A and B are shown apart, each in its own frame.
Chain A
Amino acid sequence: MSKLSFRARALDAAKPLPIYRNKDLPDLNDCVSINRAVPQMPTGMEKEEESEHHLQRAISAQSVFREKKENMVIPVPEAESNITYYDRLYKGELRIPKQLFHIQPLGLDNEQPDYDMDSEDETLLNRLNRKMEIKPIQFETMVDRLEKASTNQMVTITEAKLLLNEDDYLLKAVYDYWVRKRKNCRGPSLIPLIKLEKRDGSTNNDAYVAFRRRTEKMQTRKNRKNDEASYEKTLKLRREFSRTVTILEMIKRREKSKRELLHLTLEVVEKRYQMGDFTGEVLSEVTAPLAEKPVYTVPITVTNGNRHNHKSGGLPYHGYHHVSVKDEDPFDFVRPKKKYTRREPLCRPGRPAKRQHIVNKADIKQYDFHSSGEEDYPLSPSSEPDEENDPDGTFAFRRKAGCHYLAPCLDQTSGLLWDHPELAGLDALRHRQSLTALSVPQRCVGLARRRVGRGGRVLLDRASSDLDGVLKQLDSGVFSSSFPKDLSDHQVPTQNHRTMPGSASSLTDLLSNIQALRWRFFRPRSTQGDASGEGRTGRPSMDNRLSGGLFVHTKNSGSGGITEEQYQVHQQALAQMQKQQLAQLQLKAPPPQQHFSLPERQNTRVHSLSPLTQMHFHLMWTSRPPHSTSTSQGGTGLDRSGRTPSSGGPLLPASHSTTPQSLPNHRGHGSAVSPAHHHHNARPSPSSLKLATMATSSLDRVPKVTPAISSMAR
């Protein structure tokens, strides 16, 4: 218990203090002095007041508990509680409610006048009441309004009249009285009010000015010299942070809805796929119930065939795309544009263009999502499996943001673009890529497009395709003479047809060329039917499109021999084929490999499928003309089939050879198609005639072009 030790230690608020009674500590007196070691705490009073006489007296009295006396109390001015008139003044009684009082905000605002009448007013009122009745509250309201309308200047009598809707006499009396009273009034207003601060700061030290507005910012901490600027900055920062939080939350919400939209779209697409709504018709029906329903029913029927195939094959939607796209790609590089220009006239007669638009839109939307999720759909049109062979290379088609791309509409559009120039009108010719051959150096230049260049020169824009390799090896002689005789080889007829116009020179040749075109035209799924279909009523809807093609063909070629029955057989066979093919496609899990792996597998099956043949399948599927051609032009086709395998370019693998089993099948096709020709032979329609003529005239130009090209080649 040395003095040093206790000086060293301060009182620790966190340290337990044992509690003793004095009697327990006989030796406590020894350490009483130590008490001073604890620093004296302030009383919290003003120092000078602390020393006030009465307080000191009271404190000293209290510190000795026993000595507390009445006279040790701090004296204060007296207060009385003996107002005798209290009960008269405060009338009425209040029963204590069970519930605690709860004041409603903005309640109790009953607009009572703040002015309270005094005895002087009462005298006036009594005087006035002799002539007319006026209640105190009425008087108070009048004075109240006058007071509140007067700021520095008193309201004039005219203003008072507007202010108070009172009898003129009363108003005059009260107004005069008020003016007099106010002039005599010592205060600024008859309603005594707390003095208000003036903005100029002159009232800063006026003791009677109270409740000034706190214009400056609150001090946040007393001990820190807080400059206002930093405080305001902090406030601003806080505001901005909270704004950021809001924005982020909104972004979160937006992204969530985006995800939901994506999922919903996927669902819609899946549902559409399951329903087979490939044309978007169901969708448009659902989304635009007010839209005009198409009168024309044929496409649906035609679609049925497809649907059947896909359904049975269980092919995923993208697989379907793959198939359709493959079919078109080699021949049709500017497809989107062309398609559009072509379709419009085609659609006009049969169905409202609007509907078409809707369908496309839906497809576009679906595409947008696909492209955003790239990896999922490597087989999208822009990245065809042919890519490595695709001469487009860096010029390959790529999607551009903000552009609307029309999705290929399989059953209606494929193969149409260059097959039916006459239907598209002359405009379409400019954009058409046709298989072109030159007559002077008799060779096939592959796919090309004519256009008029400077000085009237006709230019051929050549397009590359995966057929080029094959085409190069064909000499013109073959072109002119050979027709697809072997129906098992589908690719040859196709090429033949396309080269035909180029090699034609005489009118007869031209006519036969046109015939060749018509064969190509012979496509059960082409929309061509739209154009010619109108001419034929009462035809089975299923054949509508087909008939269009057949019709023209029949008219021009005049050849026939295919019965309706045969056609149906052919249809079925074709469906069967497709089903098989699609089933196999579906088996290929990663779509990109699908194309290349197909041949090997196919070899073991009924058909041998090289990329080319596969492509041919699609062609056949969507554009069947080759088969019909083969029928009518018999033997040459066989000839060609013999040739093609041997001359097969890089796209024709060695393994490709037509198996005997496949032959009958194809033959079946051929025979099935020809009856159609026959069937329609009897009924030529004027419209188709006209179209044929147009085609003839347009194709007529081709030979003239050839020299220009050859000269250019030199």
Chain B
Amino acid sequence: MCVLLRIITALLEIETQGCRLPVLRKNQENEDEWPLAEILSVKEIPGRKLYYVHYIDFNKRLDEWVTPDRLDMKKLQFPKKEAKTPTKNGLPGSRPSSPESEVVRVAGAGPQHTPSRPPQPQAQQKSIPTKTSLPDFQNGTARRPMPNQPGRKRKQPPNCGGTDEDSQDSSDGIPSTPRMTGSLVSDRSHDDIVTRMKNIDCIELGRHRLKPWYFSPYPQELTTLPILYLCEFCLKYLKSLKCLQRHLTKCNLRHPPGNEIYRKGTISFFEIDGRKNKTYSQNLCLLAKCFLDHKTLYYDTDPFLFYVMTEYDSKGFHIVGYFSKEKESTEDYNVACILTLPPYQRRGYGKLLIEFSYELSKVEGKTGTPEKPLSDLGLLSYRSYWSQTILEILMDLKPDNGERPQITINDISEITSVKKEDVISTLQYLNLINYYKGQYILTLSEDIVEGHERAMQKRHLRIDSKCLHFTPKDWSKRGKW
């Protein structure tokens, strides 16, 4: 037994990466769970080894470094070796970090351990897409196999993307550079093992210590720090508290360095031009990337405007969240990236940000939609906002001359600046659309009505359009943003 253990340990040392095994983690009720996880990386710190695991079917933000005692070695599944070779050759060359070579070794060693492989398919969760995830893994660096997920690199989910020719070209040729519109990921580097792993342990921002969720390309020498210090107002990154202290003697910002275009109570919005204020925009993007998986920082910030929401106290205007927006969107996007910083999450700020983004669209006289793909939290927030906004309108409609109130989808879209498709998907999601006596009708169930009323009672933070001082610019008339 002891010998066996030692063998396993030895094996793990060589080729743990890519293996799957149940890993102990506490759930929200603080109960022990053993979800299946994939080992992405191993690192050795004095005295012990740490394994970077990704819980299958959990969001990447929950990936973490775990000690060996949390690994259930008995249920170890080795990666399938087959699919690896063809895809590997197709990968872009210059990977700066080591994982690839290690993976190659793992792959080479794979066959010796075929006996331990079989049990893999019987993973407890039915939804595990084994076919897709395993070959990915064998690449080591490119997790997603192209043929299976044509829409992967694209903002559009397959349903929409079916007609989108662009979605196809990502599956065959590997583009050397990502497209330049939008803010969300579309480059292969995202599949890089480097970017799959969080690289910053902890960020100190003002009063808060944040645990980043995703990779962010802060200078590499700073990634080894236990804590990365950010100036709360200019968002400059500093390696130590001492440096932050020194920086604060020189930095006199107490609010985001932009024009304040909204203020009500303690809530303010600042508009920052990604071209005019590059340093701040980049710092903001680096911070945001820590919490946005699909955000890309591949290109400069020039074509974006950043709307930073702050909360005022006697120390200054503290950043709560932000959203970025393309100066010129060809696809009706009124939001590129949107983020409420973790300390402020689940307090209605996200909805406030979304509401603000639609207020801007109303001023512009356009309808808008957030850039895709949405994250899980993004989807929930937007759905919630759309639902409440649409229900607010529907329930406020009064009978007209004794006639039953009615409204078109276009009307809703126009009133709310929510894009038509989003209106439809929300109505659908809420199950409001029914076909009755030869026509479509909207039905409001008691559940919906009650739920809405309860939700609206909790929604204290609202945008007051009277406090918005915003004049849209016609960016198409300028040479370059």
B133, chain A: closest CB distance, angstroms = 9
Q: Is the CB of B57 within 8 A of A100?
A: no
A205 sits at the interface (CB 8 A):
yes
Q: Is the CB of B259 within 8 A of A51?
A: no
Across-interface contacts of A455 in B (CB, < 8 A) = none
CA A347 to CA B380, docked complex, whole Å: 102
Contact residues, B447-462 vs A (CB, 8 A):
447-451, 454
Residue in A37, A64, A108 whose CB lies within 8 Å of B257: A108
CA A208 to CA B95, docked complex, whole Å: 11
Q: Is the CB of A38 within 8 A of B246?
A: no
Across-interface contacts of B440 in A (CB, < 8 A) = 9, 11-12, 15, 17, 38
Q: Is the CB of A113 within 8 A of B250?
A: yes
Q: Is the CB of B433 within 8 A of A38?
A: yes
A94, chain B: closest CB distance, angstroms = 4
Across-interface contacts of A14 in B (CB, < 8 A) = 408-410
Across-interface contacts of A13 in B (CB, < 8 A) = 408-410, 413, 420, 424
CA A211 to CA B289, docked complex, whole Å: 12
CA A539 to CA B326, docked complex, whole Å: 93
B349, chain A: closest CB distance, angstroms = 13
B116 sits at the interface (CB 8 A):
no
Given A41-B428, A80-B209, A100-B261: A19 and B410 interface contact (C-beta under 8 Å): no
B390, chain A: closest CB distance, angstroms = 11
Q: Is the CB of A105 within 8 A of B261?
A: no
A372 sits at the interface (CB 8 A):
no
Q: Is the CB of A187 within 8 A of B221?
A: yes
Across-interface contacts of A122 in B (CB, < 8 A) = 242
Q: Is the CB of A16 within 8 A of B282?
A: no
Contact residues, B115-147 vs A (CB, 8 A):
125, 127, 129, 132
CA A5 to CA B435, docked complex, whole Å: 10
Given A21-B444, A119-B242: A49 and B345 interface contact (C-beta under 8 Å): no
A34, chain B: closest CB distance, angstroms = 4
Across-interface contacts of A64 in B (CB, < 8 A) = 447
Residue in B92, B299, B450 whose CB lies within 8 Å of A205: B92
Q: Is the CB of B217 within 8 A of A195?
A: yes
CA A207 to CA B220, docked complex, whole Å: 10
Per-residue CB contact flags for chain A residues 47-90 toward chain B (1 = under 8 Å, else 0) read 11111111100110011111000110111111111110011011
CA A384 to CA B325, docked complex, whole Å: 78
CA A103 to CA B306, docked complex, whole Å: 14
Q: Is the CB of A32 within 8 A of B213?
A: no
Residue in A20, A91, A192 whose CB lies within 8 Å of B221: A192
Across-interface contacts of B127 in A (CB, < 8 A) = 51, 53
B356, chain A: closest CB distance, angstroms = 15
A388 sits at the interface (CB 8 A):
no
Q: Is the CB of A118 within 8 A of B242?
A: yes
Residues of B contacting A: mostly: mixed
Per-residue CB contact flags for chain B residues 417-441 toward chain A (1 = under 8 Å, else 0) read 0001100110011010111111111
CA A108 to CA B448, docked complex, whole Å: 52
> Smallest CB-CB separation from A68: which chain B residue?
B451
Across-interface contacts of A95 in B (CB, < 8 A) = 314
Interface residue range, chain B: 35 or more
Per-residue CB contact flags for chain B residues 230-258 toward chain A (1 = under 8 Å, else 0) read 00100001111111111111110111011
A394 sits at the interface (CB 8 A):
no
CA A216 to CA B299, docked complex, whole Å: 11
Q: Is the CB of A43 within 8 A of B374?
A: yes
Q: Is the CB of B217 within 8 A of A207?
A: yes
Q: Is the CB of A65 within 8 A of B376?
A: no
Q: Is the CB of B211 within 8 A of A212?
A: no
Given A90-B206, A119-B240: A35 and B433 interface contact (C-beta under 8 Å): yes
Q: Is the CB of B316 within 8 A of A94?
A: yes
Residue in A23, A77, A221 whose CB lies within 8 Å of B330: A221
Q: Is the CB of A18 within 8 A of B404?
A: yes
> Smallest CB-CB separation from B240: which chain A residue?
A118
B206, chain A: closest CB distance, angstroms = 7
B157 sits at the interface (CB 8 A):
yes
A105, chain B: closest CB distance, angstroms = 6
Residue in A1, A193, A214 whose CB lies within 8 Å of B300: A214
Q: Is the CB of B208 within 8 A of A81?
A: yes
Across-interface contacts of A47 in B (CB, < 8 A) = 149, 151, 157-158
Q: Is the CB of B211 within 8 A of A79?
A: yes
CA A136 to CA B242, docked complex, whole Å: 12
Residue in A17, A66, A205 whose CB lies within 8 Å of B441: A17
Residue in A16, A73, A202, A213 whose CB lies within 8 Å of B94: A202
> Smallest CB-CB separation from B224: which chain A residue?
A186
A207, chain B: closest CB distance, angstroms = 5
B464 sits at the interface (CB 8 A):
no
A218 sits at the interface (CB 8 A):
yes
Interface residue range, chain A: 35 or more
| Stretch of B2-10, B76-84, B186-194 at the chain-chain interface | B186-194
Residue in A54, A66, A206 whose CB lies within 8 Å of B59: A54
B61 sits at the interface (CB 8 A):
yes
> Smallest CB-CB separation from B175: which chain A residue?
A204
B397 sits at the interface (CB 8 A):
yes
Q: Is the CB of B243 within 8 A of A19?
A: no
A453 sits at the interface (CB 8 A):
no
Across-interface contacts of A90 in B (CB, < 8 A) = 206, 232, 248, 315-316
CA A31 to CA B441, docked complex, whole Å: 11
A604 sits at the interface (CB 8 A):
no
A637, chain B: closest CB distance, angstroms = 88
Q: Is the CB of A20 within 8 A of B442?
A: yes
B12 sits at the interface (CB 8 A):
no
Q: Is the CB of B219 within 8 A of A194?
A: yes
| Stretch of B39-47, B65-73, B159-167 at the chain-chain interface | B159-167
A31, chain B: closest CB distance, angstroms = 5
Per-residue CB contact flags for chain B residues 376-391 toward chain A (1 = under 8 Å, else 0) read 1111101110000000
> Smallest CB-CB separation from A140: which chain B residue?
B246
CA A273 to CA B122, docked complex, whole Å: 114
Residue in A17, A70, A101, A210 whose CB lies within 8 Å of B298: A210
Residue in A1, A187, A207, A213 whose CB lies within 8 Å of B219: A187
> Smallest CB-CB separation from B243: which chain A residue?
A116
Given A118-B240, A223-B164: A41 and B207 interface contact (C-beta under 8 Å): no
Given A42-B425, A76-B345, A192-B239: A25 and B447 interface contact (C-beta under 8 Å): no
Across-interface contacts of B27 in A (CB, < 8 A) = 75
B260 sits at the interface (CB 8 A):
yes
CA A75 to CA B27, docked complex, whole Å: 8
CA A16 to CA B394, docked complex, whole Å: 12
Q: Is the CB of A52 within 8 A of B376?
A: yes
A411, chain B: closest CB distance, angstroms = 65
B295, chain A: closest CB distance, angstroms = 11
A44 sits at the interface (CB 8 A):
yes
Q: Is the CB of A192 within 8 A of B219?
A: yes
B50 sits at the interface (CB 8 A):
no
Per-residue CB contact flags for chain B residues 177-215 toward chain A (1 = under 8 Å, else 0) read 101110000011100101100000000101111111101
Q: Is the CB of A48 within 8 A of B149?
A: yes
Q: Is the CB of A118 within 8 A of B243?
A: yes
The residue in A52, A195, A211, A221 that gathers the most chain B C-beta atoms within 10 A of its C-beta is A211
Q: Is the CB of B370 within 8 A of A44?
A: yes
Given A101-B260, A102-B259, A192-B239: A204 and B408 interface contact (C-beta under 8 Å): no
B216, chain A: closest CB distance, angstroms = 9
Q: List 11 A-B contacts (CB under 8 A).
A: A19-B394, A19-B442, A45-B157, A70-B28, A100-B261, A116-B250, A136-B249, A194-B217, A207-B192, A207-B194, A207-B217
In order of increasing CB-CB distance, the 10 nearest A-B pairs are: A65-B451, A41-B425, A187-B221, A34-B435, A77-B211, A42-B159, A79-B342, A13-B409, A210-B297, A100-B260
Given A32-B434, A90-B248, A208-B219, 6 more A-B residue pairs with CB atoms under 8 Å apart are A21-B449, A47-B158, A105-B276, A187-B222, A201-B176, A204-B92
Q: Which residues of A contact B (CB under 8 A)?
A: 1, 5-6, 9, 11-23, 25, 28, 31-32, 34-35, 37-38, 40-55, 58-59, 62-66, 70-71, 73-83, 86-87, 89-91, 93-96, 100-103, 105, 108, 112-113, 116-119, 122, 136-137, 140, 185-187, 192-195, 201-214, 216, 218-223, 225
